[in-house]
């Protein structure tokens, strides 16, 4: 079948033709928007899970829903070493330019002036990139150096501006575990105050399984503040839907054996479903996609995953860190005990602590419980074993 007609979209953050298995999270988000539009409170959401589980895709979809509601949407990816202030101010500049085009009431002007002061690179007084003279507008000073207070003043003024249109501000942050502890603390404080004061703000954070613990460390009340939703692999029926729905739109079908095989080998991870589905499409000469096609496709898709999804992470770590992961891979993709890893490496637990901490910081492993470790990348253990065998 033709590459140009391939309905699958392998790649990081690419929206699949069929977004399945995330109805609960989508319903919660839509409910939050409606509640805020009706003057009710909201509960921010934290989406967490392994790499390739579909966090970025889901977060993008929530942003699209918010845009359809005509909200001011600020969606960005956290990055180690870049402050929340810088990330948010850059994202808001584009979004607020659209707001300025739709009307310049006094509340909107105040919000624009406040956003200007929040920026990290404040220019000449009264000069803004929106082509509007703000020299006579009061606004709030949102660049005092106290990020928590500055965020609150910014969102308060934006909330007031959106009240006129019965909308709100949607803040969606991907890879949130990469924000600094101070930034996460200020963000949680903002959300806490916003819920108390009924500000028109809805928040969703997405990140690795370490995110809930990191949030708790930044603010003790974070475990009660957010609604935590762990994204799990798709069920067999959901995975089958993710494979059959896209091809059905082109008149193509799967035979049962082929479908079952790809559902099994993907383990329900959306990223892998796209990779294997795409390879099957390219391997098949005509409909239906057969078990013979899957045998050809599995080899090519596995090679593509090894060279891209896995190797991009493997190549960024030192040989001693690779040894640590090799010791974990003995347990395949299950949970490894720290003491077992130390035994396999013939080392003391304390001597391995810096290595373990660095791998956690790099987002390759996490600790489900004290004394336990697991890969944040699904099927990483199988990949490492393939490297050992070679």
Greater confidence (165 vs 355) lies with 355
DSSP β-ladder status, 365-366 and 372-375: antiparallel
Question: How many residues are recorded in the chain?
Answer: 390
59 and 190: one domain?
A: yes
Spatial distance between the Cα atoms of 342 and 39, rounded to a whole number of angstroms: 55
pLDDT at 191 over 50: yes
Tell me if 3 is assigned to some domain.
no
| DSSP structural state of residue 310 | I
Report which of 2, 69, 89, 81 is spatially closest to residue 29, judged by C-alpha positions.
69
201 and 124: one domain?
A: yes
pLDDT band at 134 (very low <50, low <70, confident <90, very high): low
Tell me if 12 is assigned to some domain.
no
Residue 130, pLDDT score:
57
* CATH number of the domain residue 163 falls in: 3.40.50.300
54 and 77: one domain?
A: yes
305 and 343: one domain?
A: no
Tell me if 155 is assigned to some domain.
yes
- Per-residue pLDDT, averaged over 148-162, amounts to 92
- Per-residue pLDDT, averaged over 186-192, amounts to 96
Domains in the chain, number? 3
Residue 125, pLDDT score:
43
| DSSP structural state of residue 254 | B
| DSSP structural state of residue 174 | E
253 — alpha (psi -120 to 50), left (phi > 0) or beta?
Answer: beta
Least confident of 48-57, 115-124, 302-311: 115-124
Residue 183, pLDDT score:
96
Tell me if 17 is assigned to some domain.
no
102 and 123: one domain?
A: yes
222 and 342: one domain?
A: no
Report which of 217, 162, 238, 237 is spatially closest to residue 194, judged by C-alpha positions.
162
Residue 47, pLDDT score:
98
Residue 31, pLDDT score:
95
pLDDT band at 276 (very low <50, low <70, confident <90, very high): very high
252 and 330: one domain?
A: no
- Per-residue pLDDT, averaged over 308-314, amounts to 92
pLDDT at 78 over 70: yes
Q: Which ranges in 18-83 belong to alpha helices (H)?
A: 23-37, 55-68
**Beta bridge partner(s), residue 86:** none
The answer to whether 288 and 322 are in contact (CB under 8 A) is no
245 and 139: one domain?
A: no
Residue 3, pLDDT score:
82
Residue-number span of the structural domain to which 374 is assigned: 316-389
Buried b (16+ CB within 10 A) or exposed e, 81-98: ebbbbebbbebbbebbee
pLDDT at 304 over 60: yes
The answer to whether 327 and 344 are in contact (CB under 8 A) is yes
pLDDT at 94 over 80: no
Tell me if 350 is assigned to some domain.
yes
Tell me if 10 is assigned to some domain.
no
Spatial distance between the Cα atoms of 134 and 124, rounded to a whole number of angstroms: 11
64 and 175: one domain?
A: yes
Spatial distance between the Cα atoms of 171 and 100, rounded to a whole number of angstroms: 19
pLDDT at 138 over 90: no
Spatial distance between the Cα atoms of 232 and 243, rounded to a whole number of angstroms: 17
pLDDT band at 128 (very low <50, low <70, confident <90, very high): very low
Domain boundary among 292, 311, 330: 311
Residue 143, pLDDT score:
80
Give backbone dihedrals phi and psi of 54, rounded to 5 degrees, phi first: 100, 20
Tens digit of each residue's pLDDT (9 = 90 or more) over 349-375: 999 999 999 999 999 999 999 999 999
Domain boundary among 230, 264, 281: 230
Least confident of 10-24, 50-64, 130-144, 151-165: 130-144
72 and 208: one domain?
A: yes
Residue in this structure with the two tokens 């909200």, named with its chain if needed: 71
Round the average pLDDT of the chain to a whole number and report it.
90
Q: Can you read off the two tokens belonging to residue 336? A: 């490894």
Domain boundary among 279, 311, 343: 311
127 and 226: one domain?
A: yes
203 and 113: one domain?
A: yes
């Amino acid at each position: 079948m033709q590459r140009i007609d391939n309905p699958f979209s392998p790649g990081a953050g690419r929206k699949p033709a069929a977004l399945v298995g995330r109805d609960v999270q989508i319903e919660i988000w839509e409910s939050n928007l409606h509640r805020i539009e009706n003057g009710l409170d909201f509960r921010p959401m934290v989406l967490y899970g392994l790499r390739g589980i579909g966090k970025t895709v889901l977060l993008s979809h929530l942003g699209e829903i918010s845009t359809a509601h005509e909200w001011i949407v600020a969606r960005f990816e956290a990055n180690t070493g870049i402050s929340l202030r810088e990330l948010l101010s850059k994202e808001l500049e584009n979004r607020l330019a659209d707001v300025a085009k739709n009307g310049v009431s006094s509340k909107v002007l105040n919000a624009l002036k406040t956003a200007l002061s929040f920026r990290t690179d404040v220019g000449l007084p009264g000069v803004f990139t929106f082509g509007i003279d703000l020299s006579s507008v009061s606004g709030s000073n949102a660049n005092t150096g106290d990020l928590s207070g500055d965020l609150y003043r910014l969102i308060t003024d934006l909330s007031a501006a959106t009240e006129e249109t019965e909308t709100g501000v949607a803040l969606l942050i991907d890879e949130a575990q990469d924000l600094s502890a101070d930034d996460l603390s200020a963000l949680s404080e903002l959300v806490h105050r916003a819920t108390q004061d009924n500000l028109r703000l809805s928040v969703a954070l997405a990140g690795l399984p370490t995110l809930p613990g990191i949030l708790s460390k930044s603010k003790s009340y974070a475990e009660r503040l957010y609604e935590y939703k762990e994204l799990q692999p798709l069920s067999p029926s959901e995975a089958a839907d993710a494979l059959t729905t896209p091809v059905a739109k082109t008149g193509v079908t799967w035979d049962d054996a082929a479908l079952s095989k790809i559902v099994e080998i993907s383990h329900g991870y959306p990223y892998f479903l796209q990779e294997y589905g795409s390879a099957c499409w390219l391997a098949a000469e005509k409909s239906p996609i057969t078990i013979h096609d899957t045998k050809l496709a599995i080899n090519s898709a596995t090679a593509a995953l090894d060279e891209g999804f896995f190797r991009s992470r493997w190549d960024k770590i030192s040989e001693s860190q690779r040894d640590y992961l090799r010791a974990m891979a003995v347990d395949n993709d299950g949970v490894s005990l720290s003491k077992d890893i130390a035994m396999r490496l013939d080392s003391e637990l304390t001597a391995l602590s810096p290595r373990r901490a660095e791998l956690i910081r790099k987002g390759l492993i996490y600790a489900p419980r004290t004394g336990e470790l697991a890969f944040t990348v699904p099927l990483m253990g199988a990949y490492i074993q393939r490297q050992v065998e070679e």
